[in-house]
Chain A
Amino acid sequence: MLAWTIYLSFAGAFVLALLPKGKPALTRNLARWLALAVAVAGLALAVAGFVAGMGQGRQIIVDALWVPSMGVHYLLADDGISRVLVLLTGLAAVSGVLFSWDIELRTNEFFAFFLALIGGVYGVFLSFDLFLLFVFYEIAIVPKYFLIAIWGSTRREYAAMKLALYSFVGSAMVLVGLLAAYSTSGSHSTSLIALGAAHFPVSFQMWVFPLVFTGFAILAGMWPFHTWAPTGHVAAPTAASMLLAGVVMKLGAYGCLRAGIGLFPHGLDPWGFSFIGIGSWRDVFAILAVIGIVYGALVALAQTDFKFVIGYSSVSHMGFVLLGLMTLNQIGMTGAVMQMFSHGIIAGLLFAIVGRLVYARTHTRQLAELGTMHLARRLPFAAWAFVIAGMASMGLPGFSGFVAELQVLVGAWMVNPWWVAAAGVGIVVGVAYTWRALQKAFFSDETPPSAHLLEQEHEHPLAAITWPEVTGVVLLVGSSLLVGLYPKILLDTIEPAVKALLAGGGR
C-alpha cells in the first residue's frame, strides 16, 4: 500500500509537467487542484499504512531482482521508522501544496518538481536496498535545485548551486562507502537486509562509518557542513523551504540511521585511545551535534532577517536528531526519530508563516521593518500562528518537540551528562531567539498608532488570509499538538523499530 505513495507522486509529477499551457488560468487552477489531490491521496495512503502497520515489525512490500549482475533489488519495505517518516512526508506534501496555492509563475512545472521531490523522498524512506535508496536520494536532490533556482528569492542561483554541490559531495562520500561495503560483504547483494547480516570487519567499519555518516549528515545540516542550509532555506520559495527543512534534512538523518548506524555499528566502537576526551567516532559526531545545537541557536539569535532565524533554528534542532542517534540507546534514538517528525512539522509551519503568511504580504523579512507594521493587529492569524509555532519550537510541553527533545536528552544523559549540559544551553538560547523574533516581528508596537497611520493602513490593507493557508496551519499545528499531547501514538510505532535496529545492528 505504501509503495503507491511513490508511484502516485511521480505519476502526478509527470501529468503536471505535460499539462497544456494554452489557457494559463485554467492550467494554473488545474495544476494546483491536481497537486493537492495527489498530495492528499499520498497522505491518506501514508495514514492507512501507518495504521495498518501498528504493532507490526518490518514488512516487505515488494522484492524483485533489478540488476541481477550486481545483486541490486527493487526492494521496498517499511518498519516503524519508515512509516513515521512517510507520514511526515505526506503531511509536508499536503501543507506544501496549500502554502503554494498562489504560485503564478509556471504553476504546473512548479508542482511537477514539487511532486517529483516528494516521490523521491517517499522512495528513500521505503527503500531497503542500498542502491535503490541512493537512486531515490539523488532523484530528490535534482528537483530541489530547480525549485530554488527558478522560483527562489534572495541570491537563488548561489543558494541553489551551493545546495546542489554540498549534496553531491555528500552523495559521493556515501557512494564510495556503499561500493566498498558491497564489495567487502561478499554477499553479492545490495539489499540492506542482506548487508545487515554480513559481518564487516571492525577495522573496515571504522573508516567506512565516518565516511557514510558524514556524507548523509551533510544533508542533515551537521555542523560544520551546515552552511548550505540557512542560505538554501532562505532562497527557496516557501513550499521548497518547508520541504527542505521539513523532509529533505530528514533524508540525511534517516540515511545516517539506516545506512550508517544500521550497517556499520562497530564504526562507533572506541578507538582504543583517546585524545582530549574524544575516544570514538561516536564522541566526535556527538560533539559536532552539540556544537550544532548551540551554534545554530546563537547565530539565530543574531539574525536580522526573519527567515534566517528559522533557517539557523533548523540547524540547531537537527542537532538534537544527530545527538539522539549517537546515544545508541533505545530512548535516545526513539527521541531522534520523534524529533525528525516533530521538527519536520514545526519547521514547515515556521517557514510557512514567515514565507507565505508574512513575506508574501509585507515583501520584507527584516525584523526591524516588520516591527513597524503592527502585524499583531493587521495579521492576527499569522501572529497567533507564530505564537503557537514558536511555543512548539521552544519545546514547551504539550507540543511534539518537548517529548522528542526530552527523550534525546535523557538518552544522552545516560552516555555523557556533559552533552546534555551543553545542549541545555542550546534550549535556553532557543527560547530566547524564538521570543526575540516573535516580539520584533509581531508585537513590537509599544505606542498606540496615530490616526494618520491607521488611515494609511486602512487604505493599504494587507491581503486577507486565505483558506489554504488556514487549512495548512491547522493541519500542522494539529499534528504537533496531537503528538505532543498523546506521544504514545508515535512511540508505539517507533520504539519496536528502534529496538529491532539496535538488536540487528550487533549492539
Chain B
Amino acid sequence: MSGFHLLTLLTVLPLVGAAVALVAGRHARAVALVTTLASLALALVVWTQLPVDGSIGLVERAAWAPSLGIQYYLGVDGLGALMLVLSALVTLMSVDAAHRVHHQPGLYFGLVLVLESGLFGSFTALNFFPWFLYWELSLIPAFFLIKLWGGARRGPAATQFFVYTMAGSAALLVSFLAVYLSTGSMDFSVLTQMASTGALEQAVTAHLGPVTIWLAIGVLAGFAVKVPMIPFHTWLPAAYAEAPSPVTMLLTGAMSKMGVYGLLRIAIPLFGHQIAEMRTPLLVLAVATVVMGAWAAAAQTDMKRIFAYSSVNHLGYCLLGIFALAVPASGAATLTSQAAALNGVILQMFNHGLTAAALFWFVAMIQERSGGHRGIDNFGGLRKPAPVLAGLMGITLFSSLGLPGLNGFPGEFLIFRGVFSLSWVAASVSILGLLVTAAVILTVIQKVFWGPVAAHCVGFPDLHHGERLALAPVIGLMLLIGLVPQLIVASMNPTVMNLLAHWRF
C-alpha cells in the first residue's frame, strides 16, 4: 500500500465530515454517522495492513520544517491500529447515542468529528510536532462539547478540564523542548533508539545537566492528567458527570486511552530508565488509583459519577501493568511476565474503552426515559418493565466487573498474571480494588434492576428496536472478546515483543 496515504486519509476524513456537518444543519447526525462508519471501515483496513512482525508499518514521511527537526511522520503498529479501531468504534457509538442534540447539531457533530480526527492523529503521529498538534486538536473540541452542551454546572467543569489538560500539555511541551534542544530530534523512532543505548540521557546531561529525571516527570505528568492517575484525577468526575453522555463516552472510551498510549509510545520508550528508577512511587500511585478509584465509586449515588470513578479504577490497572513491567530485563521469566502484563494493558485499553462507552450509553438511555434522573436510588426493579435494557446493561456491567467469559476479564487477568511475579505487593493490594469494584457494580445492579418495582418505574419503556439493533454488535463484541481473546492477543503479541525489545529500563 505504499504511495497510498491510508493514515493521512484516515485523519483527514473526519475533518471533511466535520466541514460538511457544520453546514448540514438537521442532517448533521446523518453526515456524522456516514463519516464515522467510513472511518471505522478504514481503521479496520489499517488493521489488516499491519506488518506481521509487530514493527511500525504504513509509514508516511514528508519534510515539514527541517531546520527544527519537524517531520510529518505517521505510522502504526498493532498498538496504534487497535487504538484506531477503538476510537472509530467509540466515536460511532457516541454519534449513534447523540440522537437528542437539538441545539446547534451542526456544530455539535462537527466538533465530535474534529475530535475523532485528533484521536486518529495522536495514535498515528510519530514525530512530536504533529503528535502534539493532534493531541491539542482533540482537547479543544472536547472543551466546547462540555461547555456548550453539558449539564447545569458545565462551565466550571469545562474550565477545570481545560486547565488541567493544558497544564499537562505544557509540562509535556517543556520536556520535549528540552529533549529537542539536547538531541536535535523530535522523532519518536530516533529518540527511542537513542534512549535504548543510553545516548538520550547522555545528550540531555551534556546540554542541560542531570535533569533527565525531571523531563521524565514532566512527560509523565502530561499523561497522568489525561489517563488520569491519582492525584491528577480531580478534573474527571465533574467533567464526566457534566458532559452530555455521548461526550462522556468519547472522553472515557477514547480520550483517556491517549494518556495510556502516550505512556507506552513516548514515556516508557524515551524515559524507561528514569521510570524504572521511580518505579516504587509510581507503583504506589497506580495502586492508589486502582483502590481509591474503586472506593470513591462506592461512595457515589449518581450513576455517571459511579462509572466515572470506576473508569479511574479500570485505567489504574493499565498504570499498574505499565509501571510494574518497568524493571531491567533479567532472563526469560521476567520477559514472559512483562509480555503478559503489556498484553494485558493493551487488551484492557480496548476493553475498557468498549465497556465504559457502552455503560455511559446505557446511562443516556435511562436518563432519556426517566426525565433526566440517573441516581441509583431513583430506580428500582427495572428488570420487570424493561427486561432487555436490564439484560444488556447487566452484561455490560458484568463485563466491567471482569466476569470471566466477558471482555473485561482477559485483560485484567493478564495484567495480574504479569504483575504478580513482577511486584506481588502491588498486585495483592490492587486485589482490593477488584473486590470493591465488584461490590459497587453489584450494588448498581441490585438497586436499579432488582427488588420491587418503584412506583414511578412502572411502565418504564424498554429498549426499542433501533436501540437493540445498535447495541447488538457492541454486546456481541464483548462476548466475542471474552470467549476468544486470542482474536486481539494473537495479533498484538508481535507488537508487544517488538515494543519490549526496544525498551531499556
Contacts and interface: CB of A to CB of B under 8 A. Distances in A.
Contacts of B170: 428
A398 B155 contact: no
Interface in B140-195: 140, 144, 147-148, 155, 159, 162, 166, 170, 174, 177, 180-181
A406 B64 CA distance: 14
A304 interface: no
Contact of B64 (A380, A414, A446, A486): A486
Contacts of B148: 376, 443
A431 interface: yes
Contacts, number: 53
Given A398-B136, A431-B166, A424 B174 contact: yes
B435 interface: no
Interface stretch (A190-198, A254-262, A487-495): A487-495
A100 to B, nearest CB: 28
A488 B68 CA distance: 10
A488 B177 contact: no
Contacts of A428: 170
B181 A403 contact: no
A387 B162 CA distance: 14
Nearest to B65: A487
Contacts of B147: 443
A436 to B, nearest CB: 10
B137 interface: yes
B67 interface: yes
A334 interface: yes
B379 interface: no
B64 A488 contact: yes
A410 B166 contact: no
Contacts of B129: 397
Contact of B132 (A330, A397, A424, A439): A397
Contact of A446 (B66, B137, B155, B162): B155
A320 to B, nearest CB: 15
A64 B326 CA distance: 72
A497 interface: no
A121 interface: no
Contacts of A443: 147-148
A413 to B, nearest CB: 5
Nearest to B135: A397
B174 A403 contact: no
Nearest to B153: A446
A111 B170 CA distance: 44
Given A410-B181, A413-B181, A424-B174, A334 B67 contact: yes
A413 B65 CA distance: 19
Interface residues of A, number: 29
A407 interface: yes
Nearest to B166: A431
Interface in B38-67: 63-67
B137 A398 contact: yes
Grouping DSSP codes into helix (H, G, I), strand (E, B) and loop, the A interface class, with mixed when no group exceeds half, is helix
Interface in A388-417: 391, 396-398, 403, 406-407, 409-410, 413-414
Given A397-B129, A424-B174, A431-B166, A488 B63 contact: yes
A425 B133 CA distance: 21
Contacts of A414: 181
Contact of A403 (B68, B104, B180): B68
Given A331-B67, A407-B68, A488-B63, A398 B177 contact: no
Contacts of A431: 166
Contacts of B67: 330-331, 334, 407, 491, 495
A487 B71 CA distance: 11
B68 A406 contact: yes
A474 B137 CA distance: 19
A397 B166 CA distance: 13
A424 B170 CA distance: 10
A410 B68 contact: yes
B65 A410 contact: no
Interface in A189-223: none
17 contacts: A330-B67, A387-B140, A387-B144, A397-B136, A398-B133, A398-B136, A407-B68, A428-B170, A431-B166, A439-B159, A443-B148, A446-B155, A487-B65, A487-B68, A488-B65, A488-B66, A495-B67
Interface of B: 63-68, 70, 104, 107, 129, 132-133, 136-137, 140, 144, 147-148, 155, 159, 162, 166, 170, 174, 177, 180-181
Interface of A: 330-331, 334, 376, 380, 387, 391, 396-398, 403, 406-407, 409-410, 413-414, 424, 428, 431, 435, 439, 443, 446, 486-488, 491, 495
Given A330-B67, A403-B65, A487-B68, 15 more contacts: A331-B67, A331-B68, A387-B144, A397-B129, A398-B133, A406-B177, A407-B68, A410-B180, A439-B159, A446-B155, A487-B64, A487-B70, A488-B64, A488-B65, A488-B66
